[in-house]
Amino acid sequence: MANLDSLFTAWLEGESLTDEQITLLQANAEYALMMSNAIKWQQQSREYETMKVPHWDRESSMPKVQKSHLFFGSGMWAMAASIALCAWLFMSNPQQGNQQLLEQVAKQTNLLESQQKQIDQLQNILTAQNQVQQQHMYQLAKEAIKTGRIERQEDIASVLAYIKTQRAQDQAYLRMQLNDLAEQVDGRPLPTVANNVEY
């Protein structure tokens, strides 16, 4: 059986067996079946037609790697260092370390409290600044609308004045022409005027 196993393994690994060895394997029902199944898989592999890769965005395989050191930007180094210091003190001298550890913890707590206060203050300042900025924006928007309205009114007024002037000039010109015409009519004999004949 062990011989059959090594023969079968050798066959699977691609070694060429003699006809006698193959006959030996095929004589055993279990190995014969495994052999035929392996042949079936080999046939699948040979006949396998490689599929084309559907269109895809290759650049999506390049995710933006997040910089881990950003995490240590805001006081995290101090925290890590103090924890490491506490651990070191505790490990180096447990009895004295306990006292120092407590002191260190108290210091750390104070530091954290003061940091929290600072953060709160900064947040208040930010909120206040946001409000001021919003008010300024509102004022600016109002001013812009108002200015726009006045400018539009001035433009319309100047257009109206221009039209009035133009109309006055047209009227004066027409008046002059009418006067000329009237003078010409006055100087002609009546029948000529009635028949509209060129003088």
Partner 1 sequence: MFFQSLETLIAKAQQGNKRAWLKLVKQHETQVYNYCLRMLSHPDDAMDLMQEVFISVYKSLPSFRGESSFNTWLYQIVHRRSVEYYRRRKLHQSLDGVPEESCEHSELETNQLQYQQHHELKEMMNNLPWEQRLVVELKFFQHCTFEEIAEQLGISTNTAKSRLYSALGKLKVHLEAVDG
Asked whether position 67 contacts partner 1 by CB under 8 A, the answer is: no
Query: Which amino acid is located at 165 in the chain?
Result: T
38, 12 in Cβ contact below 8 A?
yes
Out of 37, 92, 109, 116, the only residue in the binding site for partner 1 (CB under 8 A) is 37
Asked whether position 42 contacts partner 1 by CB under 8 A, the answer is: yes
Residue owning tokens 């042949």: 39
Cα 86 from chain centre = 43
Query: Looking at 37-45, 88-96, 103-111, 170-178, which segment touches partner 1 (CB under 8 A)?
Result: 37-45
Out of 16, 20, 56, 73, the only residue in the binding site for partner 1 (CB under 8 A) is 56
Asked whether position 40 contacts partner 1 by CB under 8 A, the answer is: yes
Q: Which is nearer to partner 1, 33 or 141 (CB)?
A: 33
Query: Looking at 17-25, 29-37, 68-76, 116-124, which segment touches partner 1 (CB under 8 A)?
Result: 29-37
Helix ranges (H only) for the chain are 2-12, 19-27, 29-47, 76-92, 94-186, 190-195
Q: Which is nearer to partner 1, 38 or 78 (CB)?
A: 38
Query: Looking at 32-40, 167-175, 180-188, 191-199, which segment touches partner 1 (CB under 8 A)?
Result: 32-40
DSSP characters for 1-48?
-HHHHHHHHHHHTTPPPPHHHHHHHHHSHHHHHHHHHHHHHHHHHHHP
Interface with partner 1 (CB under 8 A), residue total 29
Angle formed at CA 179 by CA 176 and CA 184, multiple of 5 degrees: 130
Out of 61, 68, 95, 195, the only residue in the binding site for partner 1 (CB under 8 A) is 61
Contacts from 23-31 at CB under 8 Å and sequence distance 24+? 28/4, 31/4
Residues 158-187 that bind partner 1 (CB under 8 A): none
Out of 27, 33, 119, 137, the only residue in the binding site for partner 1 (CB under 8 A) is 33
**Residues forming the site for partner 1 (CB under 8 A):** 9, 12-14, 33-34, 37-38, 40-42, 44-45, 47-54, 56, 58-63, 65
